[in-house]
Amino acid sequence: MIPIVTALLPMLGTILDRVIPDKAASEKARLEMQAALLDAAVKGDLGQMAVNKAEAAHQSVFVAGWRPAVGWVCASALAYSYIVVPLAGTVRTLMGEPALNLPVLDANLWELMAGMLGMGALRSWDKAQALKK
């Protein structure tokens, strides 16, 4: 959340300069706005961290929150599309029967999986950068 806020601050500063012509008042308003936005961002991030900690506290891998659930659904769907469907077709062909035309999943699953894995990798990169400081 903080990177979004810091990206918006220059644009909001430009708007304040147009709305408040007095430089001193504009600078004071800008500083107050920055402090309020950063405070709200930090509180939001702290709240999300508390929720994440509570979710992760459960012992069961299937109950530890929505993230593992989405991961299990994606893994199950990938297993179905790339193991079950081809294996069922091969078994039926070996039995001398025509292969079933089972439904397969489209590229949206890969987009979801790449997004999940990419965000996980991005967070790991963020943590590594924070350790360098």
Three-state SS at 95: coil
Please determine, for residue 111, whether its predicted confidence score (pLDDT) is greater than 80. no
For residue 100, the Cα-to-chain-centroid distance in whole angstroms is 37
If 0-12 CB within 10 Å is exposed, 13-18 middle and 19+ buried, where does residue 78 land?
A: middle
Please determine, for residue 94, whether its predicted confidence score (pLDDT) is greater than 90. yes
* Cα angle 1, 3, 125; round to 5: 95
Winning range, highest mean pLDDT, from 13-17, 29-33, 49-53, 58-62:
29-33
Please determine, for residue 59, whether its predicted confidence score (pLDDT) is greater than 80. no
If 0-12 CB within 10 Å is exposed, 13-18 middle and 19+ buried, where does residue 55 land?
A: middle
Q: Say what the pLDDT of residue 95 is.
A: 92
Predicted confidence (pLDDT) per residue in 112-129, tens digit:
777 766 665 666 666 666
If 0-12 CB within 10 Å is exposed, 13-18 middle and 19+ buried, where does residue 107 land?
A: exposed
The answer to whether 116 touches 71, Cβ cutoff 8 Å, is: yes
Q: Say what the pLDDT of residue 100 is.
A: 81
